[in-house]
């Protein structure tokens, strides 16, 4: 069941130290204020972070969506406790708000990163450039999705602008209300 969430031999090797401690692997599906939803070998489980992990975690070191974690759960209906976070393969992050220059990890261990940009009144080429820089630093492969192509008066020009700033990054123009689709 974990293989459906991306578990493979590499993650198995990374988990070896935790297996001897009675911990089990899980993947973070959702992150809430003080709790998490995990994908485990037995299905979904609600979870919280162990106090020891909260105490020793460095900035950006707490679990985020996509992370593989080592967890303890005594019965399928019990609340799972996240004891540790496995090393990340990739991470999409930004500078956290506030005066401190801390990193805020948004999502981890992703292969593809879809950057969706509306071709309506919210179209902003400079913002798209910033997202591409962040995507490049993440380690994930970016794909640009230009949405609302039906609302764009000069689709060819917009696609050319995007291609000019995103060399080698696939860009797709799509519309939910028409069959417009360009790459």
Output the DSSP codes for 25-82: EEEEEEE-SS-EEEEETTEEEEEEE-HHHHHHPPTT-S--BT-EEEEE-SSTTSPEEE
Same domain, 115 and 87: no
59-107, pLDDT tens digit by residue?
778 999 999 999 998 877 789 999 999 999 999 887 767 666 777 889 9
Same domain, 84 and 115: no
Residue position matching structure tokens 């969506």: 65
Same domain, 16 and 84: yes
Q: Total structural domains in the chain?
A: 2
Same domain, 86 and 141: no
State the CATH number of the domain containing residue 87.
2.40.50.140
From 37, 59, 91, give the residue that closes a domain.
Answer: 91
127-179, pLDDT tens digit by residue?
999 999 989 889 899 999 999 998 888 889 999 999 999 989 999 999 888 76
* Encoded tokens for 96: 């956290």
Query: Residue 61 is part of which domain span?
Result: 2-91
Helix 155-165, helix 125-138: angle, nearest 10:
40
Question: Would 50 be classed as within a structural domain?
Answer: yes
| 88: Cα separation from own chain's centroid | 11
What is the reported pTM? 0.81
From 24, 58, 91, give the residue that closes a domain.
Answer: 91
State the CATH number of the domain containing residue 126.
3.40.50.300
Q: Phi and psi of 90, rounded to 5°?
A: -140, 160
């Amino acid at each position: 069941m974990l293989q459906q969430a991306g578990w493979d031999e590499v993650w198995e090797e990374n988990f070896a130290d935790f297996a001897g401690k009675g911990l089990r692997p899980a993947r973070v599906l959702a992150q809430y204020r003080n709790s998490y939803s995990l994908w485990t070998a037995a299905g979904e489980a609600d979870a919280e972070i162990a106090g020891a992990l909260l105490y020793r975690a460095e900035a950006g070191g707490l679990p985020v969506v996509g992370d593989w974690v080592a967890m303890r759960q005594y019965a399928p209906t019990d609340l799972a406790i996240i004891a540790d976070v496995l090393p990340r393969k990739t991470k999409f992050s930004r500078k956290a708000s506030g005066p401190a220059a801390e990193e805020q990890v948004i999502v981890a261990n992703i292969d593809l990163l879809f950057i969706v940009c509306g071709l309506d009144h919210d179209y902003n080429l400079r913002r798209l450039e910033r997202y591409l820089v962040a995507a490049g630093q993440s380690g994930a492969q970016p794909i640009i999705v230009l949405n609302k192509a039906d609302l764009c008066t000069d689709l060819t020009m917009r696609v050319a602008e995007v291609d000019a700033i995103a060399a080698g990054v696939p860009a797709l123009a799509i519309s939910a209300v028409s069959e417009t689709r360009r790459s």
